[in-house]
Structure 1
């Protein structure tokens, strides 16, 4: 019953965001043509979302941000590693666009990310004193940073691999 109440009490904008993220993940299942700058929209969104959450939700701001930095570095390494050797970006002939190969990675990422961030915020709403728990601040910061870092590592690997392949040819 508690789970149903939590879901029912969740603001509509949270479900709208989840629907948007799922739609983005479904769209990412097929090849997409885009401007190279479009690669950086989602990583920037998740970085800002994580940073704003740490700043607004935690009492130990220094430790939350320090933990976010640690998570960002670990996530960057993991995202970079996960994208190494996979399908890479290609130039679209006769244009300034790139072709981003379809992948299930994005939909998996957004589902796991949403569940993680939703769960952290549910804990904060059920037990508001958690914002004054140093350990919770550290876990919240690390997870927020890891999510953002994972996306940045993957994106930068794709981008730099693309740039290197297109500068040599």
Structure 2
């Protein structure tokens, strides 16, 4: 399949999603403050999206679900690592997190979109069952890892906010 055919065969909503995701990544280049509840949206969306795919896709079995969970665990550890290395500030009274500007979200978003796009094309065009099975497992791994990274980052912010709140109560 030619690149032109792939681009023209891609649904419009995928390109809209790309624009939205890139705008979020570009916005993350600048520092800003956000309520902790707003920071929960992305991990919840990615986890729900991945789990919904695991439940609804007839090609997905237990091996893909286990692969998704393994990816999520690795992603959580990566997200905690990334967030704990950043210089964020929590405000337990306002329940907000001030995040420094970073290229990391833009890189994560871009890498995720490119990988998921490639996997979508591969899954749609693959002709043999063993390759299809491998693509489904890779897709589950990537989906779990992405949900985990954003979940791990959120967990780090949540933990810091609660620790600061507990410290202020003493």
TM range (shorter): 0.7 to 0.9
Contact 1:88 1:161 in 2 (8 A): no
Which whole-Å CA distance do the structure 1 matches of 2:155 and 2:78 have between them? 12
Indicate the SS of the match to 2:40: helix
Between Structure 1 and Structure 2, how many residues are aligned?
Answer: 168
Q: Mean alpha-carbon deviation: is it higher for 22-31 or for 99-108?
A: 99-108
Q: Mean alpha-carbon deviation: is it higher for 154-163 or for 63-72?
A: 154-163
Quote the residue 1:115 is aligned against.
114
- Post-superposition Cα deviations, 1:106-142, rounded to whole Å, max 9, x if no partner, equal 1111101111111111101111655884433322211
Contact 2:119 2:135 in 1 (8 A): no
Quote the residue 1:3 is aligned against.
3
Give ranges in structure 2 of 5+ residues lacking alignment: none
Q: TM-score scaled to structure 1, two decimals?
A: 0.86
Show the 5 A alignment for 1:1-169: 2-57=2-57, 59-91=59-91, 95-127=94-126, 129-130=128-129, 133-169=132-168
Q: What RMSD, in angstroms, separates the aligned Cα atoms of the two structures?
A: 2.3
Q: TM-score scaled to structure 2, two decimals?
A: 0.86
Structure 1 stretches of at least 4 aligned residues deviating more than 6 Å after TM superposition: none
Indicate the SS of the match to 1:33: strand
